[in-house]
Amino acid sequence: MKAVLYKDIQFVEMSHIKKPIITNSEALIKVKYAGICGTDLHIFDGLHPRVRPPLVMGHEISGIIDELNIVRNDIKIGDRVIIDPLISCGHCLPCREGSPNLCPNLKLVGIDQNGGFEEYVKIKDDKLYKIPNSLPLDLATLVEPIAVAVHAVRKSKLLVGDKVVIMGGGPIGQLVAQICRINGASSIVLSEIQPERLNFAKKMALITVSSKEETIKKIMEITKGEGADIVYEAVGIQATYNYITELVKVGGKIITIGAANKPIALDMWKVYFGELNLMGTHVYTPKDIEIGVELLNDYPKVFRPFISKVIGLKDLQAELKGLVDGTSKAMKVLVKL
């Protein structure tokens, strides 16, 4: 079958590899679309510590069941599906308590086993989610990043009328903004410095700011000096944490989404005296995926603009290079197989 293999830093190549052979409790999926994620860019740039080439990247996958060797009676060959790419052990305390996303041995399709930038991908049966016929397969590819945003909003316990700030206008931050809107946030301020992302946010009818001073001024204006109910941090850098405690109200919430690559300093004095609630979030649970499917099916017009372009497998090297060096500006790029 055709596959694009990651072979070296900033180098992937169209190849022909053996079609996977499924065993017990597995399915073979004919990939229709696979999304490019920030994680794929880290791999491409040689920055992921677990990846060893050759590897087929891609974990945002939609497709059709081609073969089955499972006991589930709710799916069949020909069904349209998306996958949960998380690979958890199933035995540790978090797994037993319903939080497989917190498994200490967590692995991922497209990192620890071949992913979606190939014609067929092998997946465990419990990682398959059948999607409605009304949900197009290209749009369904967004379920995985939407699940990340859903998880963060659910953990924050957003209430109707809440005023929120999102730090970071990448795909996840922008998705958080839209899910907050769907769930009744009364005002949403998105802070970002990249012009293309700011323009996207404006087109999505968000309040946009682009500096520390502007962010603080705008949220204090909206809240009459009280601060936001919730601040979602979707960047994972020190610069945003330097003033994040100035944006949130007394007793408010700071939800961390962005993955920092080194320790972050935070003004714990303000956390202490303001009784602020600081909460970490990590990827998603099966329930978040189910909600993601429902949201995409119910609000296709909200999420359709997130798909910036669709490319073929043969275009993947050029697109990954462009996204890494900044010459390609896109919210979400899909690979069509």
The set of catalytic residues is: 39, 42
* E strand or H helix that includes residue 320: helix 316-325
- Residues with Cβ < 8 Å from 61, sequence gap 6 or more? 29, 31, 33, 34, 35, 82, 83, 85, 109, 115, 116, 121, 141, 144
Residue 336's DSSP bridge partners are 33, 312
Within 13 Å and on the Cβ side, how many CA atoms surround 268? 2
The C-alpha angle with vertex 167 and arms to 162 and 168, in degrees rounded to 5, equals 130
Q: Side-chain half-sphere of 212: how many Cα atoms within 13 Å?
A: 9
Nearest to 303 by CA among 176, 130, 156, 155: 176
Letter string b/e over residues 244-256, b meaning 16 or more CB atoms within 10 A of that residue's CB: bbebbbeebbbbb
Is 284 strand, coil or helix?
coil
